Each structure stands twice: as structure tokens, then as C-alpha cells.
Amino acid sequence: MTPDTAPSGQAIARLWFDVEDLFEYVVANGRPSGIQRVAFEIFRALQRDCEVRVGFLRRDSLRTSFRPVAWTSVAALFDRLTEATPVASKARAAPRAGGIRLEPVWRLQLRRLVYRLPLDLRQPALRVVRLQWEAIKAMMSLLRAVLRHGAAAVARLRPRAAMVEADASQFADLVRPGDVLVVLGAPWSSPDYAGLIARTKKRFGLHFAILVFDIIPIRRPEWCDPGLVRLFRAWFASVLPQADVVMAISRATAADVERFAAASAIALRAPVRIVPMGSGFALASTLPNAQADLPPASSYALCVATIEARKNHALLFRVWRRLLDDLPREQVPTLVFAGRVGWLVADLLQQLKNSDYLDGKIRLIEDAPDADLAALYRGCLFTVFPSLYEGWGLPVTESLAFGKPCIAARGSSLPEAGGSLVRYIDADSASDAYAVIRAVIEDPDGLRAWQAEVARSFLPVTWTQTAEAILGCVSAKWLSAAHALPRQPYR
């Protein structure tokens, strides 16, 4: 029996993952956000640990169908996002200042220009830039080949070009009725995505499954760009009816999805199924040593999150200002913000600048590569995550996976992520946050005991378990019983 056939000789369904959003994301972003990290860790676990046929897809050049892309291309893309020096520019590492990694000037300028556009124009603009960049790279490759090998190199390149053009038809040759198209990422910027899914399902006899991280632009639009709110709502309302299976990363998100479906008169084909989230970096033990100028171990508290209004860094600024007023300066740990600067935080950034980052008691480390981020987790006293609304709370479970205590907001999904090992605060109350954080700072023996309890009691979910849960959600309905996974989906 080959890996592609069941005992009866019937072909086993293949899972196809749409990864186009990963390739679009990298055009204007230097490091992954939570969605990209979770999606890739699941992909990597599927490739490494799960006996299932998996394929990866991008859109074709006309954006009307899909084309296969090799796993090696997906892995190389993520390596570029997470390593200390981007693959394309290892010989010219970006300069650093004050522990902050400075991006190349062209990328910063591109990001600033793109983010000035209305949201519904950003993704089309990014696509144009990406296509132009790919064309320039292809032209430069051709010119280098001609200069190096002469005109004969052109003839040798023609077969490769023909293969690239043929990629658009390969999906039709490989796909089979009963295969499953799965979306784990963030494709809501694609025009008529629901139409693309409907046509693909009808043409090839596919099933469609989607993993929902959150619906914050719908539930809490005040923290989002108005263009994103319109775009996401239209995308979600049109895609949700197409889904044969809807998965969510927490009970809170599942409840949000079901509430939205009921309010929008969308009949879900089955209850939303909950997938447990993996914890920490799958390959943290193999990461190289940190390269940035990081603060000394045990001298700081850590907040890992994009600097945006919803993540509530402003509350921590107020808390640290009060701590410095009330306690000896040497007793107050430095507060490290690790994350890229996002949106709706102009006032906070100005306050940080005006106060000279509380005279150095707050540090901002942008776009830290995984090695630096792992070192920050390992060296911190504790982490803080006062987010006002989350679909899960990856920094909470990352903190626990590194054996570090976490103080988090008690709202939305965060108690699911942290359980009894986390201490909770009211994200709307600086006074409550101040009292909890000060109590931890003033009780170093208690903090050490808490850390020992985390190291002893936290049972991390592996990314393989997350991947298996996803397989269970889709295989239980469509794959043959002989090849359905015995592990039951997490409920």
C-alpha cells in the first residue's frame, strides 16, 4: 500500500492550505504576528509529524484560481521572517540603535507609504509592489546569467520560465473530489474571496474549512481602522456560509462566531469546533544566541505584543510611572515592550518620547527575531499582557512555556490561555493593575515560588497536538475511517 492510497485502493483526501496571505504579509512586514506564527507552526507540525497528504496553494496570476507552491518556499519565507538577519541580506545586517533593530530604509519607506493608503487599497498596492519586485528579480537573474555565461544561458532559462507559467494548471491536475481546502491565515484582503472559494468547491468537488482566530474588527471595531472593519465584515459574512467546518482557537472566539452567525441569519453547517493552541516556539531550543543589546537577566518585566491600542500598553505606561513615583527607582524593574509599532498609538509614542521612556525605565525593542525574543522570555522576571480583547493570547502561553509567570487581563479568551497559573487584572483599571504588579515586585520570594509553580505545573500543548486536532476536525467527516486520527478533537 502506498502512502497515497487506503487499503481498498481508494485515494486518501489531500488537505490544501491557502498560504497566499503569508507571501503578501512579508512584503511590508519584517517579523511575524501571532496569526502568521500559529499558521506556520501548524504547517511545520503537519509536515514533520502527521501522516497526511498536505499541499500548499497560492493564487494564480489572474487571482481566479489556485496554484501549488512547494513547502520549501513556505519554510524559506518564514525563516526570512524569524531569523536574525533576513535571508536576502545576510551580508548587510541592518544597523541597531539602543537595542532596537532598524529596518532597511527602503522597507520603512514602503511601509509608511502603504499605511497612508485607505485599507481597502493597501493590499492591491502591496500586490503591485510584489509583482514588480518579482519581475525585477527575474530580470536581474537573467542579466546576471547572461553576463556570467553568455547568450546561451537564455536558452537554458526558458524551460524554467515555462515551468513557472505552467504552475497555474498544476492544481487542476493534482486536486481530487473530496479534498479539503483549509484556511488558517488572514486572507480577508482578497477581493471576492468567497466567490473564489465557491467556484473552487463547485469545480473540483472540494470541502472548505476555516480556522478563526478572532472577529475583533466586528466585535470591537473601535480598535481597528475603519477600512479594516468594512473589509473584514464583508469578507467574514460572505465566507462563513461557504465553510463546511468552522474551527476556532478558543471558546471565547467560538462564542463570538456563533453569535455573529445568529445575528446575521447565517446557518452554520455544524457547531464551531475548538482547536487547542500550541505553546511557545517549536524550535526554541535550537535557536542561536541573542544578538541584540538586551537588558540584563532578571532586571526587567516583559510585554510581547504589537504596539497598538487594543494591547493596552498605555495602561502599563501609567502603572510604571506610578511605580517610579512610589518605590525606589532601583526596585522597579525595567519594562520592555517587544513588538512592532502598529496603529492608534501616536499619543502613547509621544508620551514615551516626551518622558525619555520614563528616563530609561521603558525600552522598546521592535521586530525582535526569534532568538532575541526567546532570550527576552528567558531573562525576564515576569511578563505582563493587559490586552483589552484577544482571540486566544499567545504571549500568555509562550510565557508559561518558558517557565515565566504572567500577569494578564481577565477578559475575553485570556483566562482560557492562562488558567490558574496566571494572575489577572482588570484591563480597564490602572489602579487594579498597579496593585497586582506592585505586590509581585515587592515579594521576590513569592515571585520565585510562583515561577517554580509555573515550571512544575504548566503542561504545554504541542504544535503537533494542534495539527492533529485540526486533522480530527476535518478528517472525522470526510476521510475514510481507516485513516481518521484516533485522537478526539478538543472540545
**Residue 242 DSSP class:** G
Task: Tell me what pLDDT residue 279 has.
Answer: 85
Task: Tell me what pLDDT residue 187 has.
Answer: 86
Pairwise CA distance, residues 22 & 71, whole Å: 13
Task: Tell me what pLDDT residue 147 has.
Answer: 61
Is 418:280 a contact under the CB 8 Å cutoff? no
H-helix or E-strand containing 384?
strand 383-385
* Domain parsing of the chain, residue ranges: 15-278+465-483, 290-457
327: three-class secondary structure by DSSP = coil
Pairwise CA distance, residues 106 & 96, whole Å: 16
Residue with grid cell 492562562, as numbered in its chain: 418
Pairwise CA distance, residues 235 & 243, whole Å: 13
Quick: pLDDT tens for 119-164. 555 555 655 555 555 555 555 555 655 565 555 544 443 333 333 3
Task: Tell me what pLDDT residue 4 has.
Answer: 43
Cα end-to-end span (Å), the chain: 34
C-alpha cell at position 387? 490586552
Extract the residue ranges of the chain whose pLDDT is less than 70.
Answer: 1-12, 28, 30, 61-63, 82-169, 281-292, 476-491
Task: Tell me what pLDDT residue 248 has.
Answer: 97
392: three-class secondary structure by DSSP = coil
Q: What CATH fold (topology level) applies to the domain 290-457?
A: Rossmann fold (3.40.50)
Task: Tell me what pLDDT residue 164 has.
Answer: 36
Task: Tell me what pLDDT residue 459 has.
Answer: 93
For the stretch 69-72, contacts whose Cβ atoms lie closer than 8 Å and that sit 24 or more positions apart, written own/partner, are 69/19, 71/43, 71/47
Task: Tell me what pLDDT residue 281 has.
Answer: 66
Is 433:315 a contact under the CB 8 Å cutoff? yes
Is 207:181 a contact under the CB 8 Å cutoff? yes
In DSSP terms, 408 is beta-bridged to 385, 424
Task: Tell me what pLDDT residue 347 has.
Answer: 94
Task: Tell me what pLDDT residue 131 has.
Answer: 53
Task: Tell me what pLDDT residue 408 has.
Answer: 98
Pairwise CA distance, residues 178 & 44, whole Å: 23
Q: Which residues contact 402 (CB under 8 A, 6 or more apart)?
A: 280, 284, 374, 377, 378
Task: Tell me what pLDDT residue 300 has.
Answer: 98
